[in-house]
Structure formats: C-alpha cells, structure tokens
Amino acid sequence: MTMTPNEYRSVSTEVIKKQQAFFQSGAGRELAFRMQQLRQLERAIDKCENELLRALELDLGKCRQEAYMTEVGLLRAELAYIMKHLPVWVQARKVRTPCLYPGARSLIYPEPLGQVLIISPWNYPVYLALAPLLGAMAAGNCTVIKPSELAPHSSAVLQALIQDSFPEEYIAVLEGGAEMSSELLEQPFDHIFFTGGSAVGKLVMQAAARRLTPVTLELGGKSPCLVDQDINIEYTARRIIWGKFLNAGQTCVAPDYLLLQREIKEPLLKKMGEVLLKFYGANPRHSPDYARIISAGHFQRLEALLADGRILYGGEAVREERYIAPTIMDRIASDSPLLQEEIFGPLLPVLEFGDLEEAIQFVNERPKPLALYFFSRNRKRQEQVLKQSSSGGVCINDTLSHISSPYLPFGGVGESGMGSYHGQASFELFSHKKSVLQQSLSFDIPLKYPPYRIPLQALKKLLRILQA
C-alpha cells in the first residue's frame, strides 16, 4: 500500500523519537548488550538463510552459491570477526601525556554516536544493508535501515528479519521508495551511511548538510583494470571474467574497463573468450550461475550501450528476461557513455596501451575510482601503479577480493565516496573518539596561573621542554 507524504513523515518521526529515547536511556551502551544483540542477529540470519537466498534469486537471478558467497556468507564472516574483537575495541585506550601536565593521564574513549541511518542499494541488497549495521550495533547505536525498493523480495525479508528480532526503538527497517528516503533525510540522525550512485549521493550530502550530519558515501565510478604483458594468462583471464560478470556486472567495484598492454591484448582476449565458455557455457542465458539485470529501466540503458562498439563476445539481450549476455567490446569511441559513465552491467570495454605510463595517465585524467586492478608479475611496475595513481582500494593480480577482508578498510576517495568500513573500521566509523585528560588533585603547579612572573624567554624554553 502506497503511503502519502504525511504518512511517511509520521512513521519516520515516530521511529526516530522512540530510538532517541532508547539511546538516551543508556541501555544499549553496555558491551554485554551489544554482544547479545550481535548474537541475536547471527541467529536471525541463520534462521532466515533460505528466505534470504530465495529473495536474492527472485530479485537478481542469483544462484544460491553466488548469493551465499557474496552476501550471506560474507556477512557471517564479518559478524564473527566483529564479535571476536569487540571486547578489545570498546576499551578506553591510554595514550601519552605531555610532561606539561604532571600527574595526569590521557585516554581515548570510543562512544556511540546515537541514531544511524543506513540507505542501502539493490545490487547486493542483503550484504550492503546489514554489513554497515554490524558496525552501528558494535559501536552501540540505534539504527534505521532504508532498503532499496528495486529489490522488493530482499527488502521484505530484511524487514521481517529485523522486526522479528529487535524492537524498533533499537533497529527498524522502513520500506518505501524515494519518498521514504526523502522523509528520513529530514530527520535528526547522528550519522548517515549511503551506498549507491554519485547523483543520489550528492542529494544525501546536501540533505545532511542542513543539519551538519556526518555522512559516509560508498559510491562507485569507473574502476579500471590494467594488464601488462608479464602475467599468467590463464589466471588473469579467470579473475577478470569472474570479477566483471559476477552478479551480471552489477557490482560497484567490478572492473569497468580493461586497459591491456598492446602485446598481450589478442592472446588475453582469446583466453577470456575460452573462460567465458567454461564459466557460463555456449549460451549463458541458460546458465544457472549467471544473474539478471535488476529492472527494465536498467536493462534498457545497458541494451542501448551494445551499439557503442564492436562486440567480441556476447551481445545477446532478451528484454522479457532482463538478460544481457556477458559481453566484451572494443573499438569504443572516446565520447561513448561506455567510457564516460559507470556501466554497472555485464559490458566490458577494452582499450590498449603501449607503456604503463600511458595507462596510468589515462586513469589519472578521470575521477578517482573506487577500485583499481593491476595484473603484472613485475614488482617495480606494481609499485609504480600504487605510487602514481589514486583510488579507494587496489587489488593486484586479482579482482574484488580486497573488499572481503575485515582487516582492510573499504571505501572511496574523491568522487567514489568518503569514509570507510569493514572490520574495526566499521566500529570506528560509528564511534566518536572522545578525548579525556584526567588530572590529579594531589598537588597543583601555580606556574600557569596569573599573575605571571616568569620572563617570556624562560617560559618559551620551559614549554619547549615540557611539551615534548
């Protein structure tokens, strides 16, 4: 049932008021409570696993193995890591105190921010809704999740999972379209976490600015994949094909275009064609392991791009099934949307370069990407790419894998986003580092009080010593 703007406003306002009261009560700040709620979420995920996997199949055509590997399984691993380390993370950390303050000690206390809003996307609708939630819960916050309406089955299962497991004054899922998002962005949250496209990300940031609300923006962009001739062709082809066509290319860190060294272009493309056949068969339309495009609108946008280059592999599109074959293309015009906009689908444009400096320059002339991939055995060239380019993250001799490590913060830079999470970074993202200096009352030093009798030069010398 569609709600009116007033109804959206009423629902969001009521939930926020309940969460503010719950947070102010202090009930959620204790470590024991946080651990209990994280275990409750773990049990809920286990209980609803089949429903989650089925929802992902209905929304995106994901097979159960891919859905588990990239969403449910990844989420469970992250959850286990956070629960293992949270008792250490919540402790106050002692730091050095300058000699200027004898008898004092300095501490950094992590404290929760308050109410968190998570606006999640449709491409990984389970993982990208619940992974930020883990950090918000671990840090002791209350949370509202607004899932994407483009993945309605996943959204419904998430809503039921949260509603059955937690009171809405602690965690709530509010479904709806852009109207619900707009109303939520008018509410007084203490942090907003948004995953999606840069156009909507700008609107989120504008709304947050009105209340000076801090934001985390996980956006995207055109993540390049550079390949020089010093590679293992078989492994390189497998890893590129897997990373690009997982979830039918609807991954924010999927390789968006290939930059191949001229000498390796033909043999690598031939091997990639062989890998496509091995992965998805002669007709990927009938492969149980290949996903579908999320909506008719996205299908139409991607289908139009098929005319923008020479198709080397793939190119088939079936509107009724929202199916677009895994497609590799070259001879792309420089002004084509394939090279100007994030593709977010199973189309892989191929460009070539002569030397590595040329490829790096091509990347640097464009907005900073969320991910950069480089395939080469040569350590000096690896270091050259790392030093001479900027991106949210880098994966060398593989694709996507860097985002699954809880030890590596994940986030963008420049137009690809701001802020990072995963593992301890998630806990820190949703925590305020409160600085505390605890002074002794056993003695006092009158030097700092007026009237000042110490000569200025002597004071400068003394402060240089004491502030070391």
pLDDT in tens, 58-103: 999 999 999 999 999 999 999 999 999 999 999 999 999 988 888 9
* Polymer length in residues for the chain: 468
Q: Is residue 439 part of a domain?
A: no
Give yes or no: residues 128 and 264 share one domain: no
Average pLDDT for 166-192 = 95
Residues 139 and 21 in one domain: yes
SS3 content of the chain, % helix, strand, coil (to 5): 50, 20, 35
Q: The pTM is what? A: 0.95
Cα dihedral 176, 182, 188, 193 sign: positive
- The reported pLDDT for the residue numbered 417 is 95
Greatest extent of the chain over all pairs of C-alpha atoms, in Å: 89
Q: What is the mean pLDDT of residues 278-288?
A: 97
Confidence at 294, pLDDT banded by 50, 70, 90: very high
Alpha carbon distance 31, 18 (integer Å) = 21
pLDDT band at 465 (very low <50, low <70, confident <90, very high): confident
Residues 395 and 424 in one domain: no
Do 179 and 244 lie in a common domain?
A: no
- Residues 63/288, Cβ–Cβ less than 8 Å: yes
Catalytic: which of 48, 142, 225, 252?
252
Q: What is the CATH number of the domain that holds 107?
A: 3.40.605.10
Catalytic-role residue among 66, 169, 183, 218: 218
Token code pair at residue 22:
């719950």
Mean pLDDT of 45-51: 97
Q: What is the pLDDT of residues 234-257, one digit of tens each?
A: 999 999 999 999 999 999 999 999
218 catalytic residue (yes or no): yes
pLDDT for residue 350 is more than 90: yes
Q: How confident is the model at residue 2 (pLDDT cuts 50, 70, 90)?
A: low
134 pLDDT exceeds 60?
yes
65 to 76, 247, 398: CA distances (angstroms): 15, 12, 20
Q: Please check the confidence at residue 43 and state whether its pLDDT lies above 80.
A: yes
* Each residue's pLDDT tens digit, 202-225: 999 999 999 999 999 999 999 999
223-232, 336-345, 445-454, range with the lowest pLDDT: 445-454
Specify whether 270 is located in the same domain as 206.
no
SS3 27: coil
The domain that contains 366 carries what CATH number?
A: 3.40.309.10
pLDDT digits (tens, 9 = 90+) for 270-280: 999 999 999 99
Q: Which residues make Cβ contacts (< 8 Å) with residue 335, sequence separation at least 6?
A: none
Residue 465 lies in a domain: no
Report pLDDT for 190: 97
**Mean pLDDT computed over 391-401:** 97
What pLDDT does 157 receive? 98
Q: Are residues 190 and 301 in the same domain?
A: no
Residue 302: predicted pLDDT: 97
Distance between alpha carbon 232 and the CA centroid of its chain, in Å?
30
Could you tell me if residue 452 is inside a domain? no
* For residue 8, pLDDT beyond 80: no
Other C-beta atoms within 10 Å of 312: how many?
17
Other Cβ atoms within 10 Å of 161 Cβ, number: 21
Q: Are residues 228 and 215 in the same domain?
A: no
> What is the C-alpha separation between 27 and 140, in angstroms, rounded?
9
Whether 459 maps to a domain, the answer reads no
Residue 1 has pLDDT above 90, yes or no: no
Q: Closest Cα to residue 279, out of 238, 317, 329? A: 238
pLDDT of residue 339: 93
Residues 169 and 248 occupy one common structural domain: no
Domain with 195 in it = 5-219+420-431
Query: Are 71 and 196 in a shared domain?
Result: yes
379 with 425, same domain: the answer is no
pLDDT at 64: 97
Give mean pLDDT, residues 379-387. Answer: 97
Q: What pLDDT shows up at residue 334?
A: 83
| DSSP state letter for 166 | S
Exposure letters 220-257 (e unless 16+ CB within 10 A, then b): bbbbbbbbbbebebeebbbbbbebbbbbbbbbbbbbbb
Query: How many whole angstroms separate alpha carbon 277 and alpha carbon 269?
Result: 13
In a domain, 458, yes or no: no
Average pLDDT, integer, range 292-314? 96
446 — pLDDT class (breaks 50, 70, 90): confident
- Kindly state whether residues 424 and 388 are assigned to the same domain: no
Across residues 359-364, what is the average pLDDT? Answer: 96
Q: What is the pLDDT of residue 84?
A: 98
At residue 468, the pLDDT reads 65
Residue 441 inside a domain? The answer is no
Q: What is the mean pLDDT of residues 140-144?
A: 98
444 within a domain of the structure (yes/no): no
Which residue from 43, 46, 68 is spatially nearest to 55, judged by alpha carbons?
A: 68
The answer to whether 174 and 143 have CB atoms below 8 angstroms apart is: no
The reply to whether 149 and 289 lie within a common domain is no
- Which pairs from 109-112 meet CB under 8 Å and 24+ separation? 109/433, 109/434, 109/436, 110/139, 110/427, 110/428, 110/431, 110/432, 110/433, 110/434, 111/29, 111/140, 111/431, 111/432, 111/434, 112/23, 112/28, 112/29, 112/139, 112/140, 112/141, 112/430, 112/431, 112/432
Are 226 and 396 within 8 A, CB to CB? no
Confidence of residue 324 (pLDDT cuts 50, 70, 90): very high
CA dihedral in degrees (243, 244, 246, 252; nearest 10)?
A: 90
Q: Judge whether 338 and 364 are in contact, CB under 8 Å.
A: no
What average pLDDT does the chain have?
Answer: 95
Inter-residue contact 70 to 53 (CB < 8 Å): no
- Count of structural domains within the chain: 2
Verify whether residue 99 is a known catalytic residue: no
Which pLDDT does position 332 carry in this prediction?
A: 93
Identify which of 256, 230, 435 has the alpha carbon closest to the alpha carbon of residue 345: 256
End-to-end CA distance of the chain: 65
Q: Residue 380: how many CA atoms within 13 Å on its side-chain side? A: 2
Measured distance CA(205)–CA(198) in Å, rounded: 10
pLDDT at residue 448, as a whole number:
84
